[in-house]
Chains A and B, each alone.
Chain A
Amino acid sequence: MSSARRPAPSESPKQADEGEPYPDPDTPVIRLEDVSVTYPGGVEALRGIDLTIGDGEFVVIVGLSGAGKSTLLRVLNGLVPATSGSVVVDGTEVVGASAATLRQVRSRIGMIFQTFNLVNRTSVLNNVLMGRLSVVPAWRSTLGLWPAEDREAAMAALERVGIVDKAYVRASNLSGGQQQRVGIARALAQEPGLMLADEPVAALDPVTSRQVMGDLQKINRELGITTLVNLHFLDLAKEYGRRLIGLRDGEMIFDGDIADVDDDTFRDIYGRSITDEDLLAMGDSPTDGSEGG
């Protein structure tokens, strides 16, 4: 029951059998060639990265702070311009692209942030609607006159992450885990083909972290959205990742299947032995399984 078509968020989730090779690595969604990023202060955040990611993959990126994880995600949607090299996302070259092209590319990429980046003073629904900004005419969104189908898409996204009952609640009144779900809903509302998560659980407690990671995994499996996740906690990486990329000092040290990863691999990536801080504290396992109902 594999399907090459990507179901819309409002459709009921299709079940992926455990043994099915869902990702389609022959259709590259992301291709980086010799990408380097040097910040204005002289800091070299990325050095000569070569990377290919296929459609529907779930990739986890680990590395110390400052290794280049955030930079790597941000060159993909142009929030950080690459100093050299080529970044092709879904067939479009991002490096040197015009503002209009960038906006178009970004509309197909959903991004989730460590600090959620919600607008605290407004409702959850308004936050999710921000995901529709690229498809709604500017005058309509500025006046708040969202078309019905976009409101529907936003509501469906909220249903998918399971907090639609909070749609009209002020964002700041939600817990951290709920806020991150709003962030995920906002990204989903874009109906993206690619999801970038920059340390999405760093600010959350262990139980909530597992819930959020489970959500991301589900979205990847049921909707087939290619997902890249920056993670700080190595046990989470091993638990939820399928493919692991290790960065150290801006260079890619490791790129391979999660099954091939052991403690030595992590030690290489970190350049030191693993401490307790690199592991999420052992919490209860989540009540809703990652297997789908």
Chain B
Amino acid sequence: MTPTPGQSTRPERPRLRARTVGIAAALMAFSVFAAREVGFDPSTFWEVWSNPLWEKFWPIPWDWVFDSGNVLQPFVETFQIATISTILGCGLALPVSFAMSSLTTPNRPTYLVSRAVMNVVRAVPDLFWAKLMVTAIGIGAFAGAWALTIFSLAVMVKLFSETVDGADPGPLEAARAAGGRHAPSLRTGILPTVFPDYVAHALYVFELNVRASVVLGLVGAGGIGRVLEAQRQFFRFDRVLGMLVIIFVVVWVIEQVSVSLRKRLI
């Protein structure tokens, strides 16, 4: 094979771009700085393992755990919070998602306002909502339900608006061309297509809500988390661990059920 002209000269080895080096150095410097600010302490990894406090987690008092008043009842409350939040939050998310998608929004102001509002709502950490509700409404499951409703709304809107954005615009166009008004067009032109995804997302949100209500209790918003926090404050870590095990099992079961239900929907 005679090398044709230009093919026998080897190209220059490209040098690492100054920009690349600069960005890498900046990231590393930032990391070192941030690590110092948070009190990075590698010795903790070792201390965590060997701390005598772990003994307080054992043995698990199963008789206390299975006593219905202690764990079962709060769990029922957790499910109630999760259910109502999912229904309300996802219900609200339906029109809001439609307003947020350029495909299905009724008019431009609605589009802009809904997107702006949802951006802000999503930027607020979920438990801040919980604390706000607790302050406004008082401690208890009621506040928790409100907080989780907003949380469900935020998550559902994010998931569902992506679905709507990706939906086939054809049927909607046909409905409008036939003279349909806004809501009926959506109902016939888009809703049937996206409904399975809607239900799948709602199931996922329910799953998240069950998990979230565990931590809600830490700020006093009811559910199993309230018992968890109470026991933690009394340093009854063995009970805490027992509850965590039960929570883990329940969450895992719900996840399996949810995954199989969702598979049948897609």
Q: State yes or no: do A and B touch (Cβ within 8 Å).
A: yes
Contacts from A to B (Cβ < 8 Å)? 13, 155, 159-168, 215, 218, 288, 292-293
Q: Shortest Cβ distance from A187 into chain B, in angstroms?
A: 16
Q: Does A162 lie within 8 Å of B3, measured CB to CB?
A: yes
A164 touches B2 (CB 8 A): no
| Other-chain contact of B1, A165, A167, A288 (Cβ < 8 Å) | A288
Q: Which residues of A contact B8 (CB under 8 A)?
A: 159, 164
A264 to B3, CA, bound (A): 40
The answer to whether A168 and B14 touch across the interface, beta carbons within 8 angstroms, is yes
In the complex, the answer to whether B14 meets A218 with C-beta atoms within 8 Å is: no
CB-CB nearest in chain B for A214: B1
**Interface contact A165-B9, CB-CB below 8 Å:** yes
* Docked pose: A81 CA to B7 CA in angstroms: 41
Rounded to whole Å, the gap between the CB of B131 and the closest CB of chain A is 45
Are A162 and B10 touching (Cβ within 8 A)? no
Closest-CB distance, A168 to chain B (whole angstroms): 5
Q: Flag if A167 contacts B11 (CB, 8 Å).
A: yes
Q: A167 to B13, alpha carbons, bound, how many Å?
A: 9
Chain B residue nearest to A215 in the complex (CB): B1
* Number of interchain pairs (Cβ within 8 Å): 36
Q: Mark B1-32, 1 if CB is under 8 A from A, else 0.
A: 11110111111011000000000000000000
User: Interface on B for A, CB 8 Å cutoff?
Assistant: 1-4, 6-11, 13-14
Name the residue of chain A whose CB is nearest to the CB of B8: A159
Minimum Cβ distance to chain B for residue A219 (Å): 9
Q: Interface residues of B: mostly helix, strand, loop or mixed?
A: loop
**Could you say which residues of chain A place their CB within 8 Å of the CB of B11?**
164-168
In angstroms, Cα B2 to Cα A215, docked, is 11
Sample (24) of A-B pairs whose CB atoms are under 8 Å apart: A13-B1, A159-B3, A159-B8, A159-B10, A161-B1, A162-B3, A162-B7, A164-B7, A164-B9, A164-B11, A165-B6, A165-B7, A165-B9, A165-B10, A166-B11, A167-B10, A168-B13, A215-B1, A218-B1, A288-B1, A288-B2, A292-B1, A293-B1, A293-B2
Which of B4, B9, B14 sits near A162, CB closer than 8 Å? B4
A162 contact set on B, CB distance < 8 A:
1, 3-4, 7
Q: 9 closest pairs, A vs B, by CB?
A: A293-B2, A162-B7, A168-B14, A167-B11, A164-B10, A165-B7, A165-B11, A162-B1, A162-B3
Contacts of A215 in B (CB 8 A): 1
Closest to A13 in B: B1
CA distance A155 to B2 in the complex (A): 16
B24, chain A: closest CB distance, angstroms: 15
A243 to B28, CA, bound (A): 60
For A162, the closest partner residue in chain B by CB is: B7
Given A159-B10, A162-B3: 18 more A-B contacts, CB < 8 Å? A13-B1, A155-B10, A159-B3, A159-B7, A159-B8, A163-B7, A164-B7, A164-B8, A164-B9, A164-B10, A164-B11, A165-B6, A165-B11, A166-B11, A218-B1, A288-B2, A293-B1, A293-B2
